[in-house]
Copies of this chain bind each other. A is one copy, B any other.
Amino acid sequence: MAETPPKAPTPPKAPTHPKAPTPPKAPTPPAPPRGYTASKDELQKRLARIEGQVRGVSKMVAEDRYCIDVLTQIAAIEAALDKVALGLLDDHARVCVLGGETGEREQRTEEMMAAVGRLLRRG
């Protein structure tokens, strides 16, 4: 890899006026880490691909493609969505449930089970 040139010294930061302190604004709380934080990029790539697949189905319809071929594409989109969903569930189980405080685990497990029910179409 190319050597990086020596860095110019960072300029000293402008001193904050001691007399006019900015009021301590309520800091917007940082988004809490989510189960999928570690795999966020990968997740968004997949969702972009799924969006493209849906657009593709719309194009197939515009071109009067054969119904059965359209249906095959829809089944493929559902498979891709299920894969995303299973990944999210797994992340949730590991990070939000197992990694949660003792007091939170119970509720997060309950929410997870309700989500499984909806994915099974029994929600």
Contacts and interface: CB of A to CB of B under 8 A. Distances in A.
Contacts of A57: 47
The prevalent SS among residues of A at the interface is helix
A81 B82 contact: no
Interface residues of A, number: 66
B40 A61 contact: yes
Given A67-B91, A115-B71, A82 B120 contact: yes
11 contacts: A54-B54, A67-B88, A71-B92, A71-B115, A74-B81, A74-B85, A85-B120, A86-B113, A94-B106, A97-B97, A98-B109
Q: Sort A-B residue pairs by CB-CB distance and give the 7 closest, nearest first.
A: A31-B64, A121-B121, A75-B118, A67-B92, A47-B58, A71-B115, A51-B54
Interface of A: 31-37, 40, 43-44, 47-48, 50-51, 54-55, 57-58, 61-68, 70-72, 74-75, 77-79, 81-86, 88-94, 96-98, 105-106, 109, 111-123
